[in-house]
Structure 1
Amino acid sequence: MTYPLQGVLYVSHGSRVEAAKQEALKFIDLLKHQVDAPLQEGCFLEIAEPNIHTAVEKLAAEGATNIAVVPLLLLDAGHYYKDIPAELNEIKAEYPNLTFTYGKPLGVQDRLVDILAERMKEAKEPIHENARILLVGRGSRNPKTRRDMEEIGERLKAKTNISHLDICFLAALKPSFEQALAQLEKVDSQQVFIVPYLWFTGVLIQSMRKKVDELGERYVFCEYLGHHPFIQEAAVDRVQEALDTKGNL
């Protein structure tokens, strides 16, 4: 009797920055050691290699019959609803015998907000009474993105006891990062924590860091989410959900 072989496909965003690609691949390697599945591959949605098609081709060659597709995305926007499913629909026509399940992005979770609060503490700056937070999201045209970022902001305020928090975006939504910084220049505050809600390094992190370095000491740039154990736990949970789901693509 032939038994089905389960595969897991991790789909990261992709970046032109080699360090970002390596961070994503390292994160996927960390997940592979925590997930009980015989076949596991990582890939990128755009820019970097391997792409989705190449990774599915490899899993199929290794004997996978079921593939749980896990989007390594923070929030559910265009890449989740359109780009990844479009790629998979093309692949399904080429591999009609493969069964796919589609997992969820991480979404809004307290343990991810805990990482943001921890990143602020790691900045090793004493928090002043009139400190502010600028929470920076990637942005998308999906209206849920703003709502999710607002919810994350509210939870971060509660965890840090900092009542003044602004939100800005790096694409698609307003205010932009530059607009938010210009507005903060008019605000009387001794300290502004710049908190990026981004997973890995890349062009966006590099650009933000450069701008903040030019602004002066009252601006404190915090690290991105990275490989923190809490985000590993959250990702492993999403993998398990995808594995437990019957074919849904």
Structure 2
Amino acid sequence: MRGILYVSHGSRIAEATAEAIQFIEAVEHKVDIPLQEICFLELAEPTVAQGIETLVNKGATEISVIPVLLLSAGHYFKDIPAELDEAKQHYPDLTFTYGQPLGVQSRLTHILKERIDETNVVPHDDAKILVVGRGSYNPQTKIDIEAIANELGNITGFKDIDVCYLAACKPSFEEALSSALDSEYSQIFIVPYIWFTGVLEKHIRQTVDDSKEHGDIILCDHLGHHEAMKEALKDRVYETLTTSPQQ
């Protein structure tokens, strides 16, 4: 019997964990499979091991593991596989099918345009856009975020779009914002490529609040509960149903 295990990042902030659970539960209603569980990589429970145990106790003999992640990085390539390797030691007859992160998709980039539009601020011709990614030591992260920013420029017509990161990659968010303020753009739009609220979003918000006296900074909302995000995650679930499982 097939089970679905959604693996979200986890947060020490209760609001972020609740937002992730609410989002995934909405996706579960779109997936016609009886056995579905939510777990977290860190900072929240149930853990990956607990989620697998629950599915096994409910009768799962094969589990689709769905990373609730935007891009491929360390969590996808190392942390989740390490958890699955350990689980295979406990359940040698259990098979896993490992899904893909959402990755770079036009329908997700269009959400960023909507988040800009939702500010109800009319952009000036010289407006600066900063797309803010989480960041990773995996070089693919920068490639992906830059591709997203390029597409955002194509669909919005903004002439001046840069990327920056909250960790591991350069330039940092603080460096990019400081540079934009020094350049005296009439507006700076901050566009977070972040799924849920949490420590990182709060850091962005605090940094913006501390810098507003130096320029006109418009902070956009995170990706959140957009319907296109739910459809994208649902599609990742169904992709695993036609992928050969790994013993």
| TM band (smaller chain) | over 0.9
**Displacement of 1:132:** 1.1
CA distance in 2: counterparts of 1:183 and 1:131, whole angstroms: 14
Sequence identity (%): 53
**Displacement of 1:93:** 0.7
Unaligned regions of 5+ residues in structure 1, if any? none
Corresponding residue of 1:76: 72
* 2:128–2:180 Cα contact (<8 Å) kept: no
Corresponding residue of 1:173: 169
CA distance in 2: counterparts of 1:243 and 1:133, whole angstroms: 39
**Displacement of 1:188:** 2.7
- Matches for 1:159-238 after TM superposition, within 5 Å: 159-216=155-212, 218-238=216-236
Report whether the alignment pairs 1:153 with 2:149. Answer: yes
Q: Give the partner amino acid of 2:241.
A: L
Corresponding residue of 1:25: 21
Q: Give the partner amino acid of 1:153.
A: A
**Displacement of 1:248:** 2.8
Q: How much is the aligned-residue C-alpha RMSD, in angstroms? A: 0.9
CA distance in 1: counterparts of 2:246 and 2:55, whole angstroms: 19
Corresponding residue of 1:13: 9
Corresponding residue of 2:241: 243
**Displacement of 1:36:** 1.3
CA distance in 2: counterparts of 1:242 and 1:70, whole angstroms: 8
CA distance in 2: counterparts of 1:174 and 1:105, whole angstroms: 23
CA distance in 2: counterparts of 1:141 and 1:207, whole angstroms: 20
Corresponding residue of 1:136: 132
**Displacement of 1:211:** 1.2
Range with bigger deviation, 52-61 or 210-219: 210-219
Deviations 1:12-60 (A, max 9, x none): 0011110000000001100110011110000001111111000000000
Report whether the alignment pairs 1:62 with 2:50. Answer: no
Report whether the alignment pairs 1:98 with 2:94. Answer: yes
State the number of aligned residues: 245
Q: Give the partner amino acid of 2:174.
A: E
CA distance in 2: counterparts of 1:7 and 1:84, whole angstroms: 17
* 2:197–2:222 Cα contact (<8 Å) kept: yes
Unaligned regions of 5+ residues in structure 2, if any? none
TM-score for both structures, normalised by structure 1: 0.97
Runs of 4+ in 1 over 6 A off after TM superposition: none
Corresponding residue of 1:87: 83
What secondary structure, in the 3-state scheme, does the structure 1 residue paired with 2:182 have?
A: coil
Deviations 1:173-232 (A, max 9, x none): 111111111111211311111000000000110111011122226100000000100111
CA distance in 1: counterparts of 2:178 and 2:127, whole angstroms: 17
* 2:134–2:166 Cα contact (<8 Å) kept: yes
What secondary structure, in the 3-state scheme, does the structure 2 residue paired with 1:206 have?
A: helix
